[in-house]
Structure 1
Amino acid sequence: MATIDCKVVLLGSASVGKTCLLDRYLHGQFSMNTNATIAGSFASKKEVLQNVSVILGCWDTAGSERYASISRMYYRNARAAIVCFDLTDRSTYETARFWVSEVLQEEKDCKVYFCGTKYDLVEDKPELRQIEKKKAQELAHDLQTDYFETSSKTGENIDQLFKKIAKDYSIWEDNEACNKLLVNDSIRLHHSSWKKDPRVRREGESSCCLW
């Protein structure tokens, strides 16, 4: 079974729950008391698919603006970005486009996933919801992304989110490998035809009788 690495960055405003999201995915645990992320932290987990193992290397980045320039260092070579916003805080949703543009400026081929956090709060008290699901889905559709509503407290949709990333990346890798193979085969075929074509005059050969 093949093994491939996929770099994932978690983006979003401060206190949207990026660290809690990653802790739930990695360790299956939840804590109400987490420290604000300074710059970035790293952890990884393996997702086993049908014919490949995908190592998701996850970078949890700081959401505070004063760390923005430092966070950009973690975008390099990212293949997936989870843009998080708090379902109970409209301001974090309104900055979603900013985070998308931030990562795509650095890595234009990075695939973005929208993640509405703290679903357990709006499930228990619907009046706390400030971002309607339909509106978030429309934004995700406009930006050609997938949308998940998650809860780090209950684990809602978190495994599904990361498994989707692993699956999408394995397909992307397969397509890239096929494209490279097609390009290489085309080059070899072209070179082979060039060598066999009697009309092609090679260096040092006379041009007579070639046409």
Structure 2
Amino acid sequence: MNRVDLKIVLLGNATVGKTSLMERYVHDTFNDSRPYQNMEGRDHIQINAVKIMLQTIGTVFAAKRVQVNDVSLVMGIWDTAGSEKYDAMTRTYYRGAKAAIVCYDITKSNTFQKAKYWVRELRSIEENCKVYLCATKKDLCDAGLASDNPDLHNAVERYANGTQTKLFVTSSKTGENVVELFDEIIQDFVSNPENLQQAEEKLVLSRKSERRYCCALS
């Protein structure tokens, strides 16, 4: 998978659950690698291949091939570090991103304040990138752990409406709304004809490169 059609960056504080979100979507696992139940994507989205590797210090990269109707796409997901010492490195991954998932811990209001910072910074650098706000760890609330700010969800909804960002409340432990989040990103991407044209051009170039490589080996 040398090409990436749909570049996605994961942003947010350390420990908000970005890596768990990616692992749940890419590998169907949560921490102890046990598969979870009831994760169903839309019928017309088919997963064809998965690959994950360590990209560099503080950042993990995963690539996933998806089939949307008759369109084959390669989704590249960059899981960026959330600590301040990696901020400068994180900014380098904004360029060319078609979508950004900005995460916050549903039980910790300070992580939402930092999420707003990531949204502002991202839009100042890559203004055409679509932003998806992701509340993580819903299972903690379901288990009875209250947020440190009772008005947090209402504040997040007001912010999402005011900034035209789509909000998803997720749990990587149970899988709730994880596939729905990524499916929405895929649907938004393929709804833009320009994105599909660029993906087709990348596919043609990739096939030409493969043919040249095969000829060189023969």
TM range (shorter): 0.7 to 0.9
The one-letter amino acid paired with 1:96 is A
User: How far does residue 168 in structure 1 lie from its aligned partner after superposition?
Assistant: 0.2
User: How far does residue 86 in structure 1 lie from its aligned partner after superposition?
Assistant: 0.1
Q: Give every structure 1 segment of 4 or more consecutive aligned residues whose post-TM-superposition deviation is greater than 4 Å.
A: 175-178
2:90 paired residue among 67, 71, 95: 71
Note if 1:170 corresponds to 2:190: yes
Aligned to 1:56: 75
TM-score, normalised with respect to structure 1: 0.75
**Contact 1:59-1:74 within 8 A present in 2 as well:** yes
Cα distance between partner residues in 1 of 2:96 and 2:130? 11
Note if 1:157 corresponds to 2:162: no
The number of residues matched between the two structures is: 172
Cα distance between partner residues in 2 of 1:4 and 1:18? 20
Cα distance between partner residues in 1 of 2:113 and 2:126? 22
- Unmatched segments (≥5 aa) in structure 1: 179-211
Aligned to 2:14: 14
Cα distance between partner residues in 1 of 2:196 and 2:109? 41
RMSD across aligned C-alpha pairs, in angstroms?
A: 2.3
Q: Secondary structure at the match of 2:82?
A: coil
User: How far does residue 4 in structure 1 lie from its aligned partner after superposition?
Assistant: 7.3
**Contact 2:10-2:101 within 8 A present in 1 as well:** yes
Q: Secondary structure at the match of 1:95?
A: helix
The structure showing larger relative contact order (alpha-carbon pairs under 8 Å, at least 6 residues apart) is 2
- Unmatched segments (≥5 aa) in structure 2: 34-55, 198-218
User: How far does residue 96 in structure 1 lie from its aligned partner after superposition?
Assistant: 1.6
**Contact 2:9-2:77 within 8 A present in 1 as well:** yes
User: How far does residue 71 in structure 1 lie from its aligned partner after superposition?
Assistant: 0.8
Aligned to 1:196: none
Aligned to 1:31: 31
User: How far does residue 51 in structure 1 lie from its aligned partner after superposition?
Assistant: 3.5
**Contact 1:54-1:166 within 8 A present in 2 as well:** no
User: How far does residue 55 in structure 1 lie from its aligned partner after superposition?
Assistant: 1.9
**Contact 2:109-2:147 within 8 A present in 1 as well:** no
Cα distance between partner residues in 1 of 2:21 and 2:14? 13
